[in-house]
Amino acid sequence: MLEYLKDYPAGDYFDEAVAENNTPRTAAKPLLKQFENTPFNSLQEMQSSAEVAIANMGISFTVYSDKGNIDRLWPFDVFPRTLCSQEWKQISDGLKQRLKALNRFIEDVYNERQIFQAGIMPEEIITSSKDFRPECCGMKLKHNSWASICGSDLVRDVTGKIYVLEDNLRVPSGVSYMLENRAVMKQVMPEVFNDMNILPVDQYPMQLLSMLRSLCPYKTDNPEVVVLTPGIFNSAYYEHAYLAHEMGAELVEGSDLVVLEDNCVYMRNIEGLKRVDVIYRRIDDAFLDPEVFREDSSLGVPGLMRAWKAGKVAIANAPGCGVADDKVVYAYVPDMIRFYLNEEPLIENVPTYLCSREEERNYVLEHLDKLVVKPANESGGYGLLIGPKASMEEIETFRQLIRENPRNYIAQPTLNISTVPTVCDQSLEPRHVDLRPFILLGEKTYVTAGGLTRVALKKGSLVVNSSQGGGSKDTWIVVTEEEN
Amino acid sequence: MLSKVAERVYWLARYIERVENTARLAKVHSQLMLDLPKSVKLSWYGLVQITSNEDYFALHYDSRSEQNCMKMLLSDRNNPASLISSLWWARENIRTTRDILPREAWIHINELYVMVKNHQEDFATRTKRNELLSKIIRACQAYTGMLEGTMSHNETYRFLKLGMLIERADMTTRLIDEGGLFVAQEHFEKDDESYFDAILWANLLRSINAYFMYRQQYQTEISGQEVLQFLTQDEEFARSISYCLNEMCWFMRKLPNPEPMQNALKSLQQKISAEQKLIIGSNELHNHLDWIQKELSQINRLLYSTWFNPKQVA
């Protein structure tokens, strides 16, 4: 065992690298063996050179603040998070299963609505959702692909069990950081990659491109794919530019596109207007088409919905797919898997109490100090109540909120999510992590090998968001010797 | 190439050229003030006129003082045509097209912008102003040379060239107009006239670094008529209008559907070359220059319908 891991406090939580008796876990074994002759200060040196590499590559993210938007360098920790390829196989099968069911569900919502008729789910959950788009009713999409790109957040509890915490189906971001993290690691510790069998991640842009091309609603030899960005002031602009560049697709803004009377979408090129077949959009539904949604939006393209409904262009993710990105709908995903696929879910949900159900609501109201309460419809960790850390006042506020609008709240037990050794001032210390793999669904289904591991860099913190002191780690899916 | 990207690159070049030309204009005007005797009236307001900023000036300034005219032309951030505004827009256009330009382009222009912004008050006093203007001109030249020497001469480069050339041709008409206006307003004794005119035209030529090239072409005394010919019809001088139009024709030959544009440019160039007898200081000359400026904005519109805002399916 590593000298500087001797006093590592494994066992308080589930640690991804070190088991209770301070022995390495299977997936971390080859890594820790590699590090045997690496003194701690060499690890710190690697940490510094990673930070230099990030500065040189210009990897940044934007923090919105009162004093203007600041581009900050991407916080990164060099100690990677490792997972066994066998375990990953099961996880990725579970993720594919989940996304398949979610897409069947979205198409059902906008068409037959069988799941409601079968009494599996109350229909009002959908009709009351602010992301339900009546404009989408009657649409059937190629490969059933509504949510074509999904970023699901996974967590591991103290027993080592993996749960899905949420599915991001609208415009999930972060995949460019997954790719950049790997590029940084290859620079910082190339030898390790030589000697270990780590699954590569860099096919993602090509997989994304081929998935997008498979969505083209008509036959054409070479579908023109574009990435639609809100523009340079968006916090994820870096990622939009990165993905467009890697795919060799044009990065366009709404004003570059035009819908003509033939209902086709064109981009303005110096050669003239050029037909666009598939749009990977990185702007929200509400801004897509001022003719249909927000009139005041200058980000979108007038007539885009018309073109989409006429089958003249594919949009990924499809308009209206946010209806399944709702924490109440989330609670029903296991039922959807059983209903649409006739299979048992391969990955479980975090146990979830729906405040719309009287019995569960009563339980929640009685145990507010022990639960995490979330609004059904927000993203980015806004408007949460973390029971064990909340004041009496905050708890009472939420009690009131839940009573007023039970449909809008769910509750989950507070999870002690797993940890990974992280380079700190004196030694490696455990820090909490989650994991966001990216799943693509077009003609084929694809899951990234690993994903974006986010880490709460502050001691004891469970918040992994980069805007709130979170950072990230490279994620290694390791093929271990036992498997070979 | 996306139309928007081509448009941004084109305007980037126009703005940089405008920064350089505005600096030249301000500098030569200050110079002229020193060279001409006190009895000869030369107003600072001429600068406002030749840059077509009369309306803006009337709205925002009271007296036509040196201070006011210089401020409006150089450091007034609210005036979209001021030097600092042009520089700001150039910087904005580079920022949003960084991925297709050499890295140094951004560094150059950003540095220049920061330098001008930090020394804005130098525009107020004559000595410091001239020093700063010289620095700006040199920085613009270094930037243009850097692009010329490090960039692939590709589509991006062609749109940069088009922007630079059209702006340059436009500025040359304005300069000649300045000379004409001056001659028209003077009431010299017959003997003095040619003497002061020579000073005027020499300074105008210097303002666009044309003095020595002119001298090599015409060995006689400087005459307004020949300067006019040199700056509008010369086929070899880099800032003559004819030359700029020819170059535009040449640089667009590899762009998609250039023919209508090229025809428009050729016909304009031919009309300019055919013009024989315009008298310096006459109304006809002023109208002729006005007409060229209008034709150039017609060319600008044509650039839009052809490349920047196409309506036809390719």
- Residue pair A46/A52 in contact (Cβ under 8 Å)? The answer is no
Q: Name the residue with higher pLDDT: A214 or A34.
A: A214
Q: Which amino acid is at A253?
A: E
Angle at B288 between CA B285 and CA B289, to 5 degrees: 90
Q: Which residues pair with A478 in a beta bridge?
A: A84, A198
What's this model's pTM, rounded to 2 decimal places? 0.85
> What are residue A143's phi and psi, to 5 degrees?
55, 20
Given pLDDT bands bounded at 50, 70 and 90, which one contains residue B189? Answer: low
Cis amide linkage into residue A317, ω under 30° from 0: yes
pLDDT single digits (tens) A266-315: 999 999 999 999 999 999 998 999 998 887 777 899 999 999 999 999 99
- Given this model, what pLDDT does residue A483 score? 53
**Domain A359-413 class, CATH top level:** alpha beta
User: Which of A250, A272, A275 shows the shortest C-beta gap to B310?
Assistant: A272
Q: How far apart are CA B233 and CA A35, in angstroms?
A: 76
Q: Which of A24-28, A165-169, A174-178, B186-190 shows the lowest per-residue confidence on average (mean pLDDT)?
A: B186-190
User: Which of A232, A245, A266 shows the shortest C-beta gap to B96?
Assistant: A232
The residues near A235 (Cβ < 8 Å, ≥ 6 apart) are A61, A62, A63, A64, A69
Q: Which regions of chain A carry the CATH code 3.30.1490.270? A: 359-413
> H or E stretch including A56?
helix A40-57
- Given this model, what pLDDT does residue A1 score? 61
DSSP category for residue A165 = E
In chain B, the N- to C-terminal Cα span, in Å, equals 13
Which chain B residue shows the shortest CA-CA distance from A252?
B2
- Given this model, what pLDDT does residue A382 score? 64
Highest mean pLDDT among A70-84, A110-124, B177-191 belongs to: A110-124
pLDDT single digits (tens) A57-111: 767 666 655 555 566 777 899 999 999 999 999 999 999 999 999 999 999 999 9
The full DSSP string for A352-404 is: -EETTSHHHHHHHHHTGGGEEEEETT--SS-S-EEGGG--HHHHHHHHHHHHH
- Given this model, what pLDDT does residue B29 score? 82
- Given this model, what pLDDT does residue A62 score? 65
Whether this model's ipTM surpasses 0.85 comes out as no
Nearest chain B CA: its distance from A450 CA (Å) = 30
B314/A273 Cβ within 8 A: yes
- Given this model, what pLDDT does residue B192 score? 60
Q: How far apart are CA A464 and CA A458, in angstroms?
A: 9
Q: Which residues pair with A420 in a beta bridge?
A: A431
A241/B4 Cβ within 8 A: no
Across chain B, what does the average pLDDT equal?
89
Closest CA to B126 of B79, B69, B88: B69
- Residue pair B39/B15 in contact (Cβ under 8 Å)? The answer is no
Highest mean pLDDT among A120-129, A215-224, A283-292 belongs to: A215-224
DSSP category for residue B75 = I
A241/B99 Cβ within 8 A: yes
- Given this model, what pLDDT does residue B102 score? 87
Domain ranges across chain B: 1-151, 153-313
Q: How far apart are CA B225 and CA B228, in angstroms?
A: 5
> A346: how many CB neighbours lie within 10 A of its CB?
15
Residue B188 has pLDDT above 80, yes or no: no
Chain A residues lying within 8 Å of B307, measured CB to CB: 270
Which chain B residue shows the shortest CA-CA distance from A270?
B307
